[in-house]
Chains A and B, each alone.
Chain A
């Protein structure tokens, strides 16, 4: 069965510091992979996605993620965090069969940013 693990429930970084949020997935084939951000009181916004091709994916707001098949990982990174990045981040996997028919979400990582 597909599953997504985000090992870090809560992370605190200083503004300007680099960030890496971890995501590991379990899926038999090459999955669709996503990172979403949910700000307080807001809906989910897609940061980036991986389907195939270049394993380093660029997203919005300066985020990037790297797909590593050997490690079943899709970690999210940002070189310099801004205070406005404080939010909940969700990694998700889509079952792949000519498309995907549902998303499985990880538990989420709550990011706090110190000034």
Chain B
């Protein structure tokens, strides 16, 4: 199994600013994922982050808006840049351990 800690758990931010979300895992994992869950919606994959390589972004998401770092096998960050109210969502970090995906508690972001 894997235990994931995400910080912050929630934040309220001004439009035009940026927020960096941290994801810490209690074991070394190859693949880490970042998802967005807009209000009342399902989870949408933003990008996959492997240690030592550039993140792979899904259609509709770009590195300039959502830069990701993966400095080691237990840690990753997602930055939401130049925020607008449309970025208000829950952002979740996920890892694969064996054949199971584990999720953090999420970061609830509100942009005002």
Query: Are the C-beta atoms of A105 and B43 separated by less than 8 Å?
Result: yes
Interface string of A28-54 (1 = CB under 8 A from B): 000010100000001110100101000
Determine which of B33, B48, B96, B101 lies in contact with A46 in the assembled complex, contact meaning CB atoms within 8 Å. Answer: B101
Taking residues whose C-beta sits less than 8 angstroms from the other chain, chain A's interface range is: 20 to 34
Prevailing SS type, chain B contact patch: strand
Question: CB distance A99 to B99 under 8 Å?
Answer: yes
The answer to whether B43 and A43 have CB atoms under 8 Å apart is no
User: Given A43-B92, A43-B104, A44-B92, is A49 in contact with B43 using a C-beta cutoff of 8 Å?
Assistant: no
Q: In the complex, how many residues of chain B place their beta carbon closer than 8 angstroms to a beta carbon of chain A?
A: 18
Q: Is the CB of B45 within 8 A of A43?
A: no
Q: Nearest residue in B to A51 (C-beta to C-beta)? A: B99
Within the assembled complex, what's the spacing in Å between the Cα atoms of A43 and B45? Answer: 16
A32 to B98, CA, bound (A): 13
Q: Are B42 and A108 in contact (CB under 8 A)?
A: yes
The answer to whether A49 and B42 touch across the interface, beta carbons within 8 angstroms, is no
Q: Are B99 and A102 interface neighbours, CB within 8 A?
A: no
Q: Which residues of B contact A108 (CB under 8 A)?
A: 41-42
**In the complex, A84 has a CB within 8 A of chain B:** no
With A43-B92, A102-B33 in contact, is A32–B42 under 8 Å at CB?
no
- Which residues of A (61-105) have their CB < 8 Å from a CB of B? 90, 94, 99-105
Give chain B residues whose Cβ lies under 8 Å from the Cβ of A43.
Answer: 92, 103-106
Known: A100-B99, A108-B41. 4 other contacts (CB 8 A): A44-B92, A94-B101, A101-B48, A105-B44
User: Which A residues fall within an 8 A CB radius of B?
Assistant: 32, 34, 42-44, 46, 49, 51, 90, 94, 99-108
**9 A-B pairs whose Cβ atoms sit less than 8 Å apart in the complex:** A43-B104, A43-B105, A43-B106, A44-B43, A44-B92, A46-B101, A90-B43, A99-B96, A99-B99
